[in-house]
Structures are given as structure tokens and as C-alpha cells.
Amino acid sequence: IMRVLIIVGVAVLLSIFLRDETIKAGATLWDKLKNSVPELVTLMFLIVFAPKITRWTLDYIFRFGPKRKQHVEQRMNTLRSLFLSLANVAFVLTACLIFLGIFIDVKPILAGLGIVGFALGFGFQNAVKDFISGILILIENQYSVGDMVKIGTFEGKVSRITLRLTALEGSEGEITIPN
């Protein structure tokens, strides 16, 4: 429900900002929305149903499979949470592009974002290193959610692993450490 409210709020804001252009073009906001029914149906699917279907599918694959050993089960929970996060990011980005595509041409925006992303990639080299380290941690099964580990001067139980960060629960509370 929250996602739908956010999309409706963005639609209202866009209608305010695009009002002059739509009047000049002779089409109202309602006309644009009425002519974009397939895009709106796809958008609602991505917002409402796709995350639930993904969660159910991953639950079936990772939780309801055959019984596994404890360390394998921890690794499966870690991979499940990682795949859920990646899927949600993909759904949100796709939904935003579809929604913007109703009102404006998104091809120049995508090209511009590609160039900006390339330039910012040089600035985020440490984040990319952390990302690659996170992939290697998961592939090599160095530690999983629920393990007791000592990373640098921090020691605690691993509560969450993402591709960029590891969260430890210790005596000082939850600490996030770059991979």
C-alpha cells in the first residue's frame, strides 16, 4: 500500500510540473494516463505483485527444500536475503523508468545516466572493492549469517551480509563493517 501511495504522490507532482507542457501539446495528464494503460498495468504489477512473487519463490527455493546442515542453512539465508534485495532494487528502478516513460522520453535520460555512472565509477572505487569483496565472501563461504566472527577489532555475531557491508551484533550493539 505504501508503494502505491508513493507512486500516486509522484504522479500528482509530475502532473503539477508537466502541466504547462501537456497543455501546450494539447493533451491533458488524464489523456496521457489513459493512453498508457499497458504501462500502468506493468507498473502496478512491478509494485504490488512482483516483490511478493519473488519472496514466495525464494522462500520455496531456499527454505522449503531438503533439510541441510546448519552452516549450509545459514548460507542459504544469506543468499536469499541478498537476492531479495537485488530483486527489489531492480523492481523499483524498472517501475521508475516505466512511470517516467509515460510522461517523457527516457532514452536521453538513460544515456546521460550511463555517462554520469561511468564518471562516478572512478569516484566509487572503494565501494566497488567492497562489493567485489562481498561477492568473494559469499562465494568462498568465509562466514555466514549467525556465525561468530572477529573482523579487525570488532567481534560479534553476523546479523546481516550484503555485497558491500557486514553487520555484526556485539556487546556494543550492531556495527556495520565494509567488506
The residues, any chain, with a CB within 8 Å of residue 59's CB and separated by 6 or more, are 80
> pLDDT higher for 125 or 22?
125
Q: What is the pLDDT of residue 42?
A: 81
- What is the pLDDT averaged over residues 112-138? 83
> pLDDT higher for 44 or 22?
44
Distance linking the first and last C-alpha atoms of the chain = 34
With bands split at pLDDT 50, 70 and 90, how would you rate the model's confidence at 154?
confident
> pLDDT higher for 3 or 18?
3
**Is residue 114 packed enough to be buried (19+ CB in 10 Å), middle (13-18) or exposed (0-12)?**
exposed
